């Protein structure tokens, strides 16, 4: 793209754009990078120009465009921070410096540690100014678009880094267009055979459904026009990578490419609900698929009404209904168009950004409070990445929570004092214990004691990092003796899950491994740390036992040709019977790519409705088994899960 086109595009949404400043930045970048070439032989300045062009699609402000043109100056030229500040101002210099710090960040070789530390660094720099992250994402996108020019090893490393770090960030910011493009570029680079296979299948599918698409446009368009709606209907095309994921995870593969999806853009919020009714009058709805992200947006501010129907010729069809502003933010992220406000009212823009990035402070709190990197990542997945439900207080206030959240999570979200005093609750008038999992639409009335009465056992019940941290903070004021007793209980329970042994039976040499790793002077100190929630029991299990010790029984190790060894692990699941429980168990196990080799069920007695299920699972590694145990334990009506 020519630089003049960038000025034209930016001027279309920034009426007060100072073209001279952009031209000055371009000339300065051209001079600074003179003589430098990219891998394909082009002048280096073509890269920052391309990054700036990408950012015009996000409707960014003037400072961001200037910083994009200058973002490689500090790293690749002789010019300094003061040079940029003198010519372009402090804000631009800070943005360029932030991008440079992200570029120079050195992360551990270990994949998991690299991912965690990268995310933390992004969040810390983003807290100061989210535009730093936006520029870096645009920089990465352009580099991925030209990654074919790199040697094979660098190309693979670059794609892996993009997949592990940049795509999760784009997802968190809600920049779907950029996220999808990065996913497909990584997919093509890392798995070219699978990429071409899915690409060919998808292209064949597009030919098959052309007539269905046309009829859908016609039926919906005519109905909206008849009701005097001037709506814009856009077919939503999923990325090839998302189709590949569905194709590999779903048993009914023929359905994957038969699903259509459309965005319907209407002028006002109230119109969204009217259009929803019109769609349900045209097609038979699948009510369990309906989501209201207008009332309760996702953590990254995604908003819209979602519904799914049996469409033309019975083809599964999804509709996302939203206003133009929602659509723009959903496609290009939470910062899209906000900086237009900054032209006229910088203070208002600052308030809007602060409000829309509350989740970022939440992430930083998780990172600061949890010393264990695994704790950080687990809680990040639960609090930020997981889908939301929305619940209500008796007065009608909406409380957004992650799926799987309990009454206690709700109580702590309302007020820490209410959480500490919670003893039970009423959901829609029905009395329930505090461990009860919530679902969208529940109205919860918390019944409290007169004095605070939190239990350390609640740490195993609550799902959000916010609730966990408030319980831990309360107990940090309590005696070490209580934490020691609870930590011992937690570790004993975990041992029974995997080894059916007691702590006193563990050899001293193995205990010493754990003490050294977690920097504990003695076993009591280690158990206190567990009781305070600073160390997970599963981390201790991972330290003191090898995979073979936990997973192997006599004759259980199966070796398959050209494949990693699989451990046949027998587990026992005790449950309280309910409709659909076995389906949920099977779906949960398969989610972790674990095969159920054999299953037998002890039917529950009629009166107690308590039964047991014995399963033989084919496990690759200990962490896989631990993940399965954790997930099974979160299913409603599961009483206990342990290795037999």
**Confidence category of residue 458, pLDDT binned at 50, 70, 90:** confident
Residue 127: burial class (beta carbons within 10 Å; 0-12, 13-18, 19+)? middle
DSSP state of 162: I
Does the pLDDT value for residue 241 go beyond 60? Answer: yes
Q: List, in order, residues 6 or more apart from 272 with CB less than 8 Å away.
A: 266, 294, 304, 305, 321, 322, 323
Most confident option among 17-31, 167-181, 382-396: 17-31
Residue 581 near residue 575, CB atoms below 8 Å: yes
d(CA 313, CA 472): 55
pTM beyond cutoff 0.85: no
The strand pairing partners of 617, in sequence order, are 569, 596
Q: What is the per-residue pLDDT for 499?
A: 63
**DSSP of 573-610:** EEEE--TTHHHHHHHHHHHTT-EEEEEEEEPPPTTT-E
User: pLDDT digits over 394-445, tens only?
Assistant: 876 767 787 788 999 999 989 989 999 898 899 877 888 888 888 877 889 9
Which candidate, 210, 211, 202, 204, places its Cα nearest to that of 239? 202
The pLDDT mean for the chain works out to: 79
- The conformation of residue 443, written as its DSSP 8-state character, comes to B
Binned at pLDDT 50, 70 and 90, residue 267 comes out as very high
CA dist 454 and 462 (Å) reads: 12
* pLDDT band at 31; cut points 50, 70, 90: very high
DSSP element (H, E) containing 340: helix 338-344
Q: How far apart are CA 152 and CA 140, in angstroms?
A: 18
Cα-based angle 288, 290, 292 (whole degrees, multiple of 5): 135
CA–CA distance, 154 with 164 (Å, rounded to integer): 15
Q: Torsion over CA of 352, 354, 359 and 363, rounded to 10 degrees?
A: 160
List, in order of start, the domains of the chain with CATH numbers: 3-196 (1.10.3210.10), 206-332 (3.30.460.10), 386-457 (3.10.20.30), 479-545 (no CATH), 550-643 (3.30.70.260)
Exactly one of 76, 83, 534, 618 is catalytic; which is it?
76
Write out the E strands in 388-443: 388-392, 398-402, 422-427, 430-432
Give me the catalytic one of 19, 27, 42, 75: 75
Confidence of residue 283 (pLDDT cuts 50, 70, 90): very high
In percent, how much of the chain has pLDDT > 90?
24
Cα–Cα distances in angstroms (integers) from residue 585 to residues 381, 574, 596, 644, in the given order: 21, 12, 11, 17
Q: Which residues contact 632 (CB under 8 A, 6 or more apart)?
A: 573, 585, 588, 589, 638, 641
134 Cβ neighbours under 8 A, 6+ residues apart: 55, 58, 60, 64, 173, 333, 335
Specify whether the CB–CB gap between 499 and 545 falls below 8 A. Answer: yes
**Closest listed residue to residue 307, CA positions, set 254, 346, 261:** 261
Q: Is 76 a catalytic residue?
A: yes
Q: Considering only the C-alpha atoms of the chain, give the largest distance between any 2 of them, rounded to a whole number of Å.
A: 83
Reading the block at residue 141, the tokens are: 């996108």
Contact (CB, 8 A) for 30 and 22: no
Tell me whether strands 566-576 and 398-402 are parallel, antiparallel or unpaired.
unpaired
Q: Which structure tokens are listed for 617?
A: 């699972």
Are 294 and 305 contacting, i.e. CB atoms less than 8 angstroms apart?
A: yes
Cβ atoms of 261 and 239 within 8 Å: the answer is no
Using CA of residue 478, residue 480, residue 485, residue 487, what is the dihedral sign?
Answer: positive
Q: Is the pLDDT score of 202 beyond 50?
A: yes
Q: What is the rounded average pLDDT of the residues 259-281?
A: 91
Catalytic residue at 225?
Answer: no
Residue 553: strand pairing partners:
none
Query: Which value, in Å, is the radius of gyration of the alpha carbons in the chain?
Result: 27
Task: Report how far residue 152's alpha carbon sits from residue 55's, in angstroms, rounded to the nearest whole number.
Answer: 28
- Residues 617, 627: Cα–Cα separation, whole Å: 13
User: Quick one: which H or E segment has residue 184?
Assistant: helix 176-190
Cα dist from 6 to 14, 54, 91, 333, whole Å: 12, 9, 21, 20
- The crossing angle, in degrees rounded to 10, of helices 176-190 and 152-161 is 140
| pLDDT of residue 455 exceeding 50 | yes
pLDDT tens digits along 556-586: 444 443 345 678 888 888 888 877 788 888 8
Which of the pair, 478 or 597, is modelled with greater confidence?
Answer: 597
Rounded average pLDDT over 504-532: 83
CA angle 208, 214, 219 (to 5 degrees): 135
Give the range among 210-214, 222-226, 359-363, 509-513 with minimum mean pLDDT: 359-363
pLDDT band at 631, cuts 50/70/90?
confident
pLDDT at residue 282 greater than cutoff 80: yes
Angle at CA of residue 373, ends 415 and 186, nearest 5°: 110
Residues in the chain: 644
Please report, for residues 302, 462, 531, the alpha-carbon distance to residue 527 in angstroms, rounded to integers and kept in the order given.
42, 20, 6
Helix residue ranges, H only, 33-108: 46-56, 62-70, 73-76, 81-88, 90-104
Torsion of CA 292, 297, 302, 307, to 10 degrees: -10
């Amino acid at each position: 793209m020519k630089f003049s086109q960038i000025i034209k595009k930016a001027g279309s949404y920034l009426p007060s754009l100072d073209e001279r400043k952009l031209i000055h930045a371009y000339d300065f970048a051209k001079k600074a990078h003179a003589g430098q070439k990219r891998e394909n032989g082009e002048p280096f300045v073509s890269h920052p120009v391309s990054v700036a062009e990408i950012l015009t699609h996000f409707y960014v402000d003037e400072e961001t465009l200037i910083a994009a043109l200058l973002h490689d100056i500090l790293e690749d030229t002789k010019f300094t921070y003061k040079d940029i500040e003198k010519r372009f101002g402090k804000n631009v210099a800070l943005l360029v410096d932030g991008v440079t710090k992200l570029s120079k960040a050195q992360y551990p070789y270990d994949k998991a540690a690299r991912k965690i530390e990268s995310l933390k660094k992004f969040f810390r720099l983003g807290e100061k100014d989210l535009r730093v992250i936006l520029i870096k994402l645009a920089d990465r996108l352009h580099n991925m678009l030209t990654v074919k020019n790199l040697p094979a090893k660098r190309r693979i490393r670059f794609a892996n880094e993009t997949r592990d770090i940049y795509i999760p960030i784009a997802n968190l910011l809600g920049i779907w267009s950029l996220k999808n493009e990065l996913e497909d570029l990584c997919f093509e680079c890392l798995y070219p055979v699978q990429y071409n296979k899915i690409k060919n299948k998808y292209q064949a599918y597009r030919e098959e459904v052309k007539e269905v698409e046309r009829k859908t446009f016609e039926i919906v368009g005519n109905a909206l026009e008849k009701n005097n709606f001037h709506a814009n209907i856009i077919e939503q095309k999923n990325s090839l990578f998302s189709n590949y994921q569905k194709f590999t995870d779903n048993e009914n593969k023929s359905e994957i490419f038969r699903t259509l999806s459309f965005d319907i853009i209407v002028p006002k919020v109230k119109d969204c609900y009217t259009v929803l009714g019109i769609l349900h009058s045209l097609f038979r709805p699948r009510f369990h698929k309906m989501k209201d992200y207008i009332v309760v947006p996702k953590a990254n501010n995604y908003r819209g009404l979602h519904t799914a129907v049996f469409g033309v010729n019975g083809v599964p069809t999804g509709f996302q209904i939203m206003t133009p502003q929602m659509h723009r933010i959903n496609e290009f992220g939470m910062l899209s168009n906000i900086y237009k406000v900054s032209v006229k009212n910088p203070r208002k823009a600052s308030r809007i950004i602060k409000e829309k990035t509350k989740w970022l402070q939440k992430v930083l709190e998780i990172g600061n409070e949890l010393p264990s990197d695994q704790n950080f990542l687990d809680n990040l997945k639960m609090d930020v990445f997981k889908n939301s439900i929305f619940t209500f207080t008796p007065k009608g206030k909406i409380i957004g929570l992650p799926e799987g959240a309990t009454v206690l999570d709700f109580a702590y979200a309302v007020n820490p004092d209410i959480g500490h005093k919670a003893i039970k609750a009423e959901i829609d008038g029905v009395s329930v214990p505090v461990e009860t999992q919530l679902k969208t639409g529940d109205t919860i009335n918390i019944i409290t004691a007169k004095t605070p009465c939190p239990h350390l056992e609640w740490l195993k019940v609550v799902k959000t990092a916010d609730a966990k941290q408030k319980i831990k903070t309360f107990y940090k004021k309590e005696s070490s003796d209580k934490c020691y007793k609870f930590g011992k209980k937690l570790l004993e329970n975990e041992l029974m899950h995997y080894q059916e042994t007691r702590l006193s039976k563990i050899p001293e040499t193995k205990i010493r491994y754990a003490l050294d790793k977690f920097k504990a002077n003695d076993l009591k100190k280690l158990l206190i740390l567990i009781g305070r929630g600073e160390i997970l029991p599963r981390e201790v299990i991972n330290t003191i036992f090898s995979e073979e010790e936990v997973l192997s029984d006599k004759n259980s190790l199966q070796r398959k040709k050209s494949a990693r060894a699989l451990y046949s692990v027998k587990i026992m699941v005790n449950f309280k019977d309910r409709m659909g429980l076995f389906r949920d168990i099977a779906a949960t196990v398969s989610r972790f790519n674990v095969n159920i080799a054999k299953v037998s069920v002890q039917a529950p007695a009629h009166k107690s409705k308590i039964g047991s299920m014995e399963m033989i699972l084919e496990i690759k590694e200990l962490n896989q088994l631990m993940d399965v145990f954790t997930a099974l334990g979160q299913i409603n009506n599961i009483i206990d899960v342990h290795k037999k």
